[in-house]
Amino acid sequence: MVNNFKYLGFSEPMALAMVEALKVNPYPNPRVGALLIDEQGNVKAAANHKQKGSNHAEINIFEQVQVEETDILYVTLEPCFHSDTSPSCATEIINQGVKNIVIGDIDLDIRTNGRSVSLLKDNNISVQIESNANNILNPYYENTHKKLKDIHYLLKIGMSKNDYITNDASDSRYITNEISLSIVHYLRATADCIVIGKNTLLNDDPKLNVRIPGINNIDHNPEPIIMWGGSTENIESAMKKYPTFTFLSSMPSRENNTYCDTSSLSDVEEYFLERKFRNIFIEGGKGILGSFLRDHKIDSIYEFKSNLNIENGIHIGHNYRAEIDKNYHMNNKYQLLDNLLTTYTRN
């Protein structure tokens, strides 16, 4: 299986654990994946946390295989310290004889928050950190545990070297390469919903689902949300063509349409909260992403850039770059062959 998480700096075992986590949505718990490898690097077992009240990923690993001292356990999030709602995974790791563990991120849950790492080290277990795994899998997590807000908005944008987001000279919808597209699908798999506008729907005929080897058996696809707006033209035919999409429009609620004043992002956010969406994936087009940026909703941005210039098409506009320069800081840059991924976080 091709796993392009490696382009984001992850080792192959951690990347495989992350893909395992993306197969399920254990709401309200975070997505967590685990992988056990032997000293030759062969995979002995992979597991995830399927749903609240069920075994955590580490416990599911131990139920599959016997741990040897030379094995290495990879977990996308610090094992839980507490035992109030489930057995303590940190304690079970010690009991199972694990001697080497690689953890994706420290758990911000106050019941754990570094306590498991200390406990494991105190029991002579080698602990390494491979940062950012949980941040990618559960981007809302920091907002929730720092009590900042209930929703995380993630903006994905693909553009040319000279900032065009469409190309009139090409029939392809895609400006970026296959690696960028696969990472977009990883990001989609973290989301509760994908948001696009009317024009993107009518022009691109998108599927808005997760399509990538290794997580094609995902049991939870993000819900496609179309911010249709006030016009009723063509909405009836669009609703019939895309019966699994949810339309937000000025029409009364019926079938797959929900009444919502999309000119007010406060009303849209109220809808998201009612649906218990935590990670909102904003995918386009220019009007939609501009409105969320202007309203200061976007928490993080994944900007994919090709190395080609485009002469005719839709330019992202100077306001986009001005918003980033004023309100965001750059986290990382990743070279994806001839594409560049830059990630930003709101100040």
Residue 241: in which H helix or E strand, if any?
helix 235-241
CATH of residue 148's domain is: 3.40.430.10
Catalytic site includes residue 142: no
Residues 82 and 158 in one domain: no
Q: Edge-to-edge strand order for the sheet containing 328-336?
A: 257-259, 246-249, 223-229, 193-197, 279-284, 152-159, 300-305, 339-346, 328-336
Residues 97 and 202 in one domain: no
CATH of residue 19's domain is: 3.40.140.10
CB 19 within 8 A of CB 2: no
Residues 229 and 308 in one domain: yes
Name the residue with tokens 């006030």.
Answer: 230
Residues 232 and 119 in one domain: no
Residues 151 and 37 in one domain: no
Residue 37 backbone dihedrals phi, psi, to 5 degrees: -120, 155
Q: Per-residue pLDDT tens, the chain, 347 aa: give them.
A: 568 999 999 999 999 999 999 999 999 999 999 999 999 999 999 999 998 888 999 999 999 999 999 999 999 999 999 887 778 999 999 999 999 999 999 999 999 999 999 999 999 999 999 999 999 999 999 888 877 788 999 999 999 999 999 998 887 888 999 999 999 999 999 999 999 999 999 988 999 999 877 666 566 789 999 999 998 899 999 999 999 999 999 999 999 999 999 999 999 999 999 999 999 999 978 899 999 999 999 999 999 999 999 999 999 999 999 999 999 999 999 999 999 999 999 99
Beta strands in 111-253 (DSSP E): 126-129, 152-159, 193-197, 223-229, 246-249
Residues 95 and 163 in one domain: no
CA-closest candidate to residue 51, choices 42, 63, 60, 64? 60
Range of the domain at 339: 141-346
Final residue belonging to a domain, choices 105, 137, 169:
137
Residues 59 and 127 in one domain: yes
- Measure the CA–CA gap between 319 and 316, rounded to whole angstroms: 8
Residues 240 and 304 in one domain: yes
Residues 87 and 10 in one domain: yes
Number of domains into which the chain is organized: 2
Residues 126 and 169 in one domain: no
Catalytic residue, candidates 12, 20, 58, 78: 58
CB 30 within 8 A of CB 141: yes
